[in-house]
Amino acid sequence: MTAPEPQSPGFELEAPRDLGGLLSESFDLYRRNFLRFLAMSVCVVVPVHAAVLGFGLKQFSGGYDSTSAPASAWVPIAVQVLVVGPLVAVMALHALQELAAGARRPRVGASIQAGLDAFAVVFWPVLLSVLGEIAAIITIIGVFVLIVRWYFVPQVVVVEGARGTQAVRASWEVTRNFGWRTAGLLLVGNIVYGFAGTLISTPVDAVARGVDSEAVGLAATTLAETLAAAPIGIFVALVYFDLRSRQRALVRT
């Protein structure tokens, strides 16, 4: 029998953090467990991009940027919002819960399985929130508010056991009184980690232009999203627990 992995003291998951703390702690967690979090991202991003973008949009063939404009704009966004983002978010959340419980390293297989097991439950409230955002598209401010207030649907499904419209309402409640702060944090986190992933993949994209290959361009997109998905998932989980701790502090006062 394999000896159980020794435990470490862990860290405080549900605690208030400022922007500096959120960025530094999410980066440190990603850095110290880079290969594990990368494996979680790879098992989601690569097959989804291959199936939907590579085969579905035929980006495995054709010249660079040859996909029709509407499809190339909306399909990747839908894939990210409905599939990649929620799946990686749940996997990262499970890994953080293991680390907070005292594990030295998150178990990759267990985190991946947790994401796959929860996906069917997470998908429907995420879809409901997206449909609500589309319905509110007549006002830019309305869409912006809904995106922020419903951003934590995957987290409330896993942590709070919310389902369906209850998950949408729970995400709204966890951001109550902190809407603008939450918007700023999410914007900064997505820009920082998204830009880092794009920066690293830029040389691959340059090669795609040079050889006029949509397949190489897809490789650049996949690389950028693979590198950014896990740290964004970690950052968002920490923001979620930050909000929970602040909401409880409000109740006590």
pLDDT reported for residue 2:
44
CA 61 centroid distance within chain: 29
DSSP 175: T
pLDDT reported for residue 1:
42
Q: Is 176 helix (H, G, I), strand (E, B) or coil?
A: coil
pLDDT reported for residue 228:
93
- Partnered with residue 7 across adjacent β-strands are 103
pLDDT reported for residue 160:
92
pLDDT reported for residue 235:
97
pLDDT digits (tens, 9 = 90+) for 179-200: 999 999 999 999 999 988 888 8
Q: How far is CA 38 from CA 30, 52, 153, 187, in A?
A: 9, 21, 23, 22
Helix (H) or strand (E) holding 3: none
- Tell me how many helices (H) and strands (E) the chain has: 10, 0
Q: Can you tell me which residue has the tokens 């990210």?
A: 80
What is the residue extent of each domain of the chain? 23-252
Residues 6+ away with beta carbon under 8 Å from 33: 95, 99, 105, 106
pLDDT digits (tens, 9 = 90+) for 115-132: 999 988 998 889 888 777
Compute the distance between CA of residue 220 and CA of residue 34 in angstroms, rounded to an integer. Answer: 19
pLDDT reported for residue 74:
81
pTM for the whole thing?
Answer: 0.88
- Partnered with residue 103 across adjacent β-strands are 7
Do 92 and 37 touch, CB atoms closer than 8 A?
Answer: yes
Do 159 and 114 touch, CB atoms closer than 8 A?
Answer: no
| pLDDT < 50 regions, the chain | 1-8
Exposed / middle / buried, residue 141 (Cβ in 10 Å: 0-12, 13-18, 19+): exposed
Please report, as a single letter, which amino acid is at residue 97.
Q
Sign (positive/negative) of CA torsion 195, 200, 201, 203? Answer: positive
